[in-house]
Amino acid sequence: MKPTALVIGAGIGGIATAARLAKNGYDVTVLEKESTPGGRCNQIVRDGHRFDIGPTLFLMPEVWEETFASLGEKMSDHLDLRRIDPTYKVHFDDGLRLELTSDIGEMQRQLEAVDKSAFTGFLSYLAEGAKHYKISLEKFVGRNFYNIFEYFSPANLPLIFNLKALQKHYANTGRFFKDERLKAAFTFQNMYLGLSPYDAPATYSLLQYTELAEGVWYPMGGMYAAIQALVNIAERLGVKFVHNSPVRKLHVEGSKVIGAETFDGKTYSADIFIGNADLPHIYKELLPDAQEAKKLDGKLFTCSTIMFYWGVDKQYPQIAHHNVFLGGDYKASFDQIFEDHTLPEVPSFYVHAPARTDPAAAPKGQDTLYVLVPVGHLDARSEQDWDALVNRAREAVFARLAKEMGVADLKGHIKFEVVYQPKDWKSRFNLEKGAAFGLSHNFWQVGYLRPQNRHKKYKNLYFAGASTHPGTGLPIVLLSARLTTERILKEKGTITVQKMVKPSLNPA
């Protein structure tokens, strides 16, 4: 008889873990709160407009390819990937514009126009990012740590220093760039992880390396096409998805979880349980350990976001696929997000226009615009008027698009608007404090020091997702699914560890 597994949550980590377990002989059921799978990587489809709700960047393709390969599939059979280059257009409020691109000659021209020494610094910065990426993936992010001595082993300690894990990203960038705007252009990517570059480890120079060297990609059909592909594979492997089934409580007995009770009163039993809901939510709401939940509550959380999804009855070709608008005092804006937990006085923001690459994302002659404005997470000590902050964020976006891109009539062409703000992230996705990226990443919250992917007391309860090891971001959550599966198979007596495969991608 097959061993049984119950996965709580059909985010990408839950889907990938379920598929891997099914491939390794488990009978797997997934309970999902929503009517469709995907979690934060879901989509909105309305009046011919298609929006990805959360992630819009397809990064680290080798990690994705390994996931498909581990399930006996080729990624290229399921996804039509297009390389986005320039990766972004970055706008500064003093009028400077940069197009970040893998075209080295073009980067040289742009950077030397700002500062004659900047291109040399850029090449050194990329070289450091390449080193950080390789070491991180092989020695830290891509493996399990079963005890603290493995993590702080004589072999690993020098690597922690090589990765500059104790140095801050923004300060370290000053070794390569003198111009403050260039420092901002090569550190804002920390916001994908919900981090401030003033707090993030310098290790995260690897982000810029992956974008420019390995590429920023877009799956035709949107990021949700990747979710649909993995769900289809999982179902073919026998995984059963049960939607509209939020879990109310986990029943425990001694050192085991014995059942998951849904709000409609059903109880599901299994040999092992995998929590893919936000880890702090599981500890706080589903388990009886109030003390453990309190400890997690005291950890650092990532920021939140205000999101605008606009269906527009006109095209704005001047808005590129990925656009970043950096504004105001860079440090003050991060302090307002991460210390005051509010909207900065001068908000920075990101605009995604998928129809530039995928015309099916909008009706002909129209546009689908996604706007992300970073804000602080919910803070019980300082209640915010989120409706007022949403209105201020919206007006700030309109003003900058009009001033810098000539998009002066956008307000009159919006057919409909969908808004997400921190309270929505909390209520819809059970993200504690409305922190859109889960638990933060600093030296004390990475590797073995991050919440582990198996519960300390309940030995058949595992975790996969952004708030457990190794961390947040879609490709990293896919690694989480691999590591959690490896741990389950190792601890339950069978293991098939797949080596990372190299991608065979060509820009379309």
Tens of pLDDT, residue by residue over 144-185, are 999 999 999 999 989 888 899 889 999 999 999 999 999 999
**pTM listed for this prediction:** 0.95
- What is the rounded distance in angstroms from the CA atom of residue 454 to the CA atom of residue 487? 8
- What is the rounded distance in angstroms from the CA atom of residue 258 to the CA atom of residue 266? 13
CA-closest candidate to residue 11, choices 226, 189, 216:
226
| pLDDT confidence of residue 446 | 92
Cis amide prior to 86 (ω within 30 degrees): yes
- What is the rounded distance in angstroms from the CA atom of residue 288 to the CA atom of residue 286? 7
| pLDDT confidence of residue 382 | 79
The tokens describing 260, both together, are 């998951």
| pLDDT confidence of residue 114 | 97
Residue with tokens 């197009």: 99
List of the chain residues with pLDDT < 70: 493-508
- What is the rounded distance in angstroms from the CA atom of residue 428 to the CA atom of residue 33? 9
DSSP for 148-164 reads: HHHHT-TTTHHHHHHTT
Rg value, the chain, Cα: 22
| pLDDT confidence of residue 330 | 94
> Do the strands 367-375 and 240-242 form a parallel or antiparallel pair, or are they unpaired?
unpaired
Cis amide prior to 158 (ω within 30 degrees): no
| pLDDT confidence of residue 214 | 93
Residue 72 phi/psi, 5-degree rounding, is 80, 25
The answer to whether the beta carbons of residues 17 and 489 sit under 8 Å apart is: no
- What is the rounded distance in angstroms from the CA atom of residue 285 to the CA atom of residue 348? 34
From first CA to last CA, the distance across the chain in angstroms is 46
Q: What is the pLDDT of residues 451-467, one digit of tens each?
A: 999 999 999 999 999 99
The tokens describing 146, both together, are 């079963």
